[in-house]
């Protein structure tokens, strides 16, 4: 095994020693990951040549290997002029696909390499890595090895992740690789883990650990330094408060903590189960006691995160009509970037669907060779084939959620190519496509998400009423629909395209597969109530919908009790930015479509809204948004069942392992935490801590905040961490958003996600929450 790192030339003896050190380091990390001696991981550590594919003309061999930290993948360019060695972290990998299952491989390679091809897809906007191995066996080993590595890293406890991370940070600080740490290396290590310390403090810590007084830390001394570094004083204080049995927690002590602080309705058997499950010391476990280490391990478990574990799976009633749910929805789903010149890709559909998006948009235009294409009309965005998008949607629609996917068609095609669109959807989606109403009778309301599990529903124009399909008389031969029957989606391009005629021809084949989501123009609430069937739905540009939500919220709610509403961003958002979805949810709108490709505060809130209920993409609306007689108005907020005044107390205690936002080695974050409430106007509020200077590893605040929440079922709470800057805007570090009704009470860790909504592996907050009822109600 070679240790890939650019270092000065070594003598033969130095090289042998270096090889042994690298092997030892890899051995420690494979044990930490539970993959000691695993042949697939050993294969990755040895590395090998792979053909990297960028285009039909750019295919070059690169040597890839896993570094000894078992976390970083490295490749060396075979160029005469040696460049810096590119790397990427296993944490950044979203998935590994075996075969030619990306646009790049399908476009730039042929069927002969199918068994040798695989792709690495990243969580961020980084381009896919399309690779071809020299044999099918090698390709399988790369895929299997990477999947094992990702799986085992995901299974590590927070403590194990910290140990793995700190061990490898220490290895990087040990410049001369002598397994010892001098004062200079200790200071370098502290910088690396995001702590700025002055010389006097560094000297004090060093001398405290250097018990041998030899001027460097070795063996047990490094372990002692690790213990000082990872000591959680705040958790120790909590533990000592409840450890009343000889300085330790027995089952009664733990039960007292669970009832008093965590407000859990549990018994002594539950406390004993926790001790048996999480106490690492066998002698303490035999005595039915929990040590401080066991208590720390328990507080780092997924069940102790702030998000209620009962909401991780589908727990809501999924048998209500479809329009009784908020539905996770995407706008311009095909775009990877902006809507003027950004690339279109089937990958954009895959990413949205894997994030449990349940309504995707397809902007369809005539293409060459009689094949419809998808792109943002009258712009420079690239084009993808309609059939390729449908194939991608079929393959990935139900991997995250098994509940129905709505295909929202924005149709600009000729009748001939509309027929081809219908043919592709029918042939590719097969029996999963809803092509007629469920049941044998004329439907009077929507089916439920449960009834539509694993099915695709088309949203688009229809030539006639759905009821006509149940009559014996011939269907209308008319193939023209007026633009006033269109949803209004075309309005978003009104400033970018020439005026179209007032009518558009529609193919019967496409019309016939529009069942529960017929697009119609909105002519007011009274008209919709009197003249539209339940399945006839309108789309609203954000400006119009916000105005309705502000001026006629109660009418909007009543409309959405019977009908579906889709909201989409204004065409002026050429950068594909997003609008605030909260006021539209407050008015009962179900399909509030956002640009999933644009990470923003609005997408954070969207991700938080659809976090519970098993990330199914469907959230049951509160009862007062499903009641035809509802008097609820989110603006005036009159008294009613929705008014459940809560006092929300939150103490932001500390943070752990915050990432650097500046790649410069000397840059240390000055973190602050802001707690934000979103919901009805009366609930919207923001409070923030003071910044902590030069400490991103274990900053402490102990800041207490109090919020009044009047409509908890519509409220969302967002924790955001920023790097404070006195001369410019603060920089984003991480955030976490969840529904107010999904918050666990007591002491809990808050995981943090990055701008793309992906989990930061070790970073988090530690908070205490209380939710009290207002006794004056």
Catalytic residues: 331, 376
CA distances from 657 to 73, 79, 83, 586, 759 (A): 22, 37, 31, 36, 13
> Is 668 flagged in the annotation as binding?
yes
> Is 56 flagged in the annotation as binding?
yes
> Is 51 flagged in the annotation as binding?
no
SS (H, E, C) 364-420: EECCHHHCCEECCCCCCCCCEEHHHHHHHHHHHCCCCCCCCEEEEEEECCCHHHHHH
> Is 36 flagged in the annotation as binding?
no
> For residues 121 and 125, what is the distance between their CA atoms, to the nearest angstrom?
9
> Is 270 flagged in the annotation as binding?
no
The single-letter DSSP state of residue 515 is -
> Is 361 flagged in the annotation as binding?
yes
Neighbour-count burial of 12, counting CB atoms closer than 10 A to its CB (0-12 exposed, 13-18 middle, 19+ buried): exposed
CA distances from 382 to 96, 106, 296, 365, 385 (A): 25, 17, 52, 12, 10
> What are the residues facing 407 on neighbouring strands?
360, 458
> Is 70 flagged in the annotation as binding?
yes
> Is 461 flagged in the annotation as binding?
yes
> Is 471 flagged in the annotation as binding?
no
Collapse the DSSP code of 134 into the 3-class scheme (helix H, G, I; strand E, B; otherwise coil) and give the result: coil
Whole-number CA gyration radius for the chain: 29
> Is 58 flagged in the annotation as binding?
yes
Collapse the DSSP code of 641 into the 3-class scheme (helix H, G, I; strand E, B; otherwise coil) and give the result: coil
* Nearest one of 105, 94, 117, 591 to 331, comparing CA atoms: 591
> Is 662 flagged in the annotation as binding?
no
> Is 73 flagged in the annotation as binding?
yes
> For residues 756 and 144, what is the distance between their CA atoms, to the nearest angstrom?
26
Alpha helices in 563-699 (DSSP H): 582-586, 601-609
> Is 198 flagged in the annotation as binding?
no
* Nearest one of 154, 158, 176, 177 to 166, comparing CA atoms: 158
> Is 177 flagged in the annotation as binding?
no
> Is 110 flagged in the annotation as binding?
no
> Is 60 flagged in the annotation as binding?
yes
Collapse the DSSP code of 481 into the 3-class scheme (helix H, G, I; strand E, B; otherwise coil) and give the result: strand
Alpha helices in 74-198 (DSSP H): 103-108, 136-155, 158-173, 183-192
> Is 358 flagged in the annotation as binding?
no
Neighbour-count burial of 268, counting CB atoms closer than 10 A to its CB (0-12 exposed, 13-18 middle, 19+ buried): exposed
Structure tokens at 149: 């590595």
> Is 71 flagged in the annotation as binding?
yes
> Is 745 flagged in the annotation as binding?
no
> Is 332 flagged in the annotation as binding?
yes
> Is 54 flagged in the annotation as binding?
yes
> Is 65 flagged in the annotation as binding?
yes
> Is-contact 489 568, C-beta < 8 A?
yes
> Is 428 flagged in the annotation as binding?
no
> Is 495 flagged in the annotation as binding?
no
Q: What angle do CA 710, 711, 715 make, to 5 degrees?
A: 110
> Is 586 flagged in the annotation as binding?
no
Element containing residue 228 per DSSP (H, E): helix 220-230
> Is 194 flagged in the annotation as binding?
no
Structure tokens at 582: 């909260």
> Is 701 flagged in the annotation as binding?
no
The single-letter DSSP state of residue 302 is G
> Is 149 flagged in the annotation as binding?
no
> Is 459 flagged in the annotation as binding?
yes
> Is 155 flagged in the annotation as binding?
no
> Is 365 flagged in the annotation as binding?
no
Coarse DSSP helix, strand, coil percentages of the chain, rounded to the nearest 5 percent? 35, 25, 40
> For residues 209 and 3, what is the distance between their CA atoms, to the nearest angstrom?
30
Contacts of 129 (CB under 8 A, 6+ apart): 52, 119, 120, 121, 122
> Is 382 flagged in the annotation as binding?
no
> What are the residues facing 290 on neighbouring strands?
249
Structure tokens at 692: 């902590």
> Is 282 flagged in the annotation as binding?
no
Sign of CA dihedral 516, 521, 525, 526: negative
**Helix and strand tally (H, E) in the chain?**
22, 33
Neighbour-count burial of 761, counting CB atoms closer than 10 A to its CB (0-12 exposed, 13-18 middle, 19+ buried): buried
> Is 62 flagged in the annotation as binding?
yes
> For residues 446 and 452, what is the distance between their CA atoms, to the nearest angstrom?
10
> Is 245 flagged in the annotation as binding?
no
The binding site for substrate comprises 52-79, 459, 461, 539, 566
The binding site for Ca(2+) comprises 332, 361, 363, 410, 668, 670, 694, 723, 725
The binding site comprises 52-79, 332, 361, 363, 410, 459, 461, 539, 566, 668, 670, 694, 723, 725
């Amino acid at each position: 095994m070679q240790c890939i790192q650019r270092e000065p030339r070594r003598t033969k003896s130095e090289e042998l020693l270096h090889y042994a050190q690298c092997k030892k380091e890899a051995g420690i990390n494979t044990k930490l990951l539970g993959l000691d001696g695993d042949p697939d991981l050993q294969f990755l550590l040895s590395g090998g040549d792979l053909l990297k594919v960028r285009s039909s003309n750019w295919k070059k061999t690169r040597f890839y290997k896993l570094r000894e930290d078992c976390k970083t993948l490295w490749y060396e360019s075979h160029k005469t002029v040696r460049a810096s060695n590119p790397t990427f972290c296993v944490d950044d990998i979203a998935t590994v696909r075996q075969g030619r299952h990306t646009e790049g491989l399908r476009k730039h390679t042929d069927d002969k390499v199918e068994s040798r091809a695989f792709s690495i897809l990243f969580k961020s906007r980084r381009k896919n890595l399309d690779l071809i191995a020299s044999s099918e066996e090698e390709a399988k080993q790369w895929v299997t090895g990477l999947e094992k590595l990702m799986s085992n890293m995901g299974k590590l406890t927070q403590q194990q992740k910290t140990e793995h991370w700190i061990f490898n940070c220490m290895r990087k600080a040990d410049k001369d690789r002598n397994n010892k740490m001098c004062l200079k290396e200790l200071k370098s290590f502290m910088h690396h883990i995001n702590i700025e310390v002055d010389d006097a403090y560094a000297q004090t810590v060093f001398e405290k650990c250097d018990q041998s007084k030899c001027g460097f830390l070795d063996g047990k001394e490094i372990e002692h330094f690790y213990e000082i570094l990872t000591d959680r004083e705040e958790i120790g204080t909590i533990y000592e408060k409840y450890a009343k049995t000889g300085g330790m927690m027995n089952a009664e002590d733990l039960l007292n903590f669970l009832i008093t602080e965590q407000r859990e309705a549990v018994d002594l058997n539950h406390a004993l189960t926790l001790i048996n499950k999480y106490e690492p010391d066998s002698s303490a476990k035999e005595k039915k006691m929990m040590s401080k280490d066991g208590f720390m391990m328990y507080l780092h478990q997924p069940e102790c995160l702030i998000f209620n574990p009962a909401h991780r799976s589908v727990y809501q009633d999924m048998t209500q009509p479809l329009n009784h749910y908020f539905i996770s929805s995407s706008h311009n789903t095909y775009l990877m970037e902006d809507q003027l010149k950004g690339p279109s890709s089937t990958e954009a559909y895959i990413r949205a669907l894997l994030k449990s998006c349940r309504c995707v948009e397809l902007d369809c235009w005539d293409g060459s060779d009689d094949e419809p294409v998808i792109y943002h009309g009258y712009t420079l965005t690239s084009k993808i084939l309609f059939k390729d998008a449908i194939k991608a949607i079929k393959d990935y629609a139900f991997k995250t959620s098994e509940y129905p996917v709505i295909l929202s068609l924005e149709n600009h095609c000729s009748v001939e190519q509309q027929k081809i669109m219908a043919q592709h959807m029918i042939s590719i989606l097969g029996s999963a496509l809803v092509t007629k109403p469920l049941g044998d009778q004329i439907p009077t309301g929507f089916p439920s998400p449960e009834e539509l599990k694993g099915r695709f529903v088309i949203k688009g124009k229809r030539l006639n009423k759905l009821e006509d399909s149940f009559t014996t008389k011939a269907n209308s031969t008319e193939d023209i629909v007026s633009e006033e029957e269109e949803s209004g989606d075309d309005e978003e391009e009104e400033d970018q395209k020439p005026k179209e005629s007032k009518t558009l021809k529609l193919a019967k084949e496409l019309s016939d597969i529009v069942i529960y989501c017929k697009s119609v123009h909105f002519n007011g609430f009274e008209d919709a109530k009197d003249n539209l069937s339940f399945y006839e739905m309108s789309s609203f540009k954000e400006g119009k919908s916000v105005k309705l939500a502000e001026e006629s919220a109660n009418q909007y709610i009543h409309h959405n009790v019977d009908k579906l509403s889709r909201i989409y961003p204004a065409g002026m958002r050429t950068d594909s930015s997003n609008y605030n979805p909260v006021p539209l949810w407050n008015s009962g709108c179900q399909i509030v479509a956002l640009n999933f490709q644009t990470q923003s505060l609005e997408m954070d809130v969207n991700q938080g809204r659809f976090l519970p209920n098993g990330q199914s993409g469907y959230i049951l609306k509160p009862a007062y948004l499903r009641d035809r007689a509802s008097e609820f108005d989110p603006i005036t907020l009159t008294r009613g069942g929705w008014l459940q005044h809560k006092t929300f107390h939150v103490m932001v205690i500390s943070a752990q392992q915050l990432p650097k936002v500046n790649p410069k080695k000397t840059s240390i974050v000055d973190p602050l935490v802001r707690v934000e409430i979103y919901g009805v106007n009366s609930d919207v509020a923001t409070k923030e801590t003071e910044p902590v200077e030069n400490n991103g590893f274990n900053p402490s605040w102990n800041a207490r905040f109090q919020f009044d929440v009047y409509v908890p079922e519509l409220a969302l709470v967002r924790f955001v961490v920023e790097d404070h800057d006195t001369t410019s805007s603060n920089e984003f570090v991480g955030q976490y958003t969840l529904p107010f009704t999904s918050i666990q009470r007591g002491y809990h860790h808050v995981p943090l996600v990055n701008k793309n909504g992906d989990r930061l592996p070790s970073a988090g907050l530690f908070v205490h929450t209380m939710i009290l009822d207002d006794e004056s109600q």
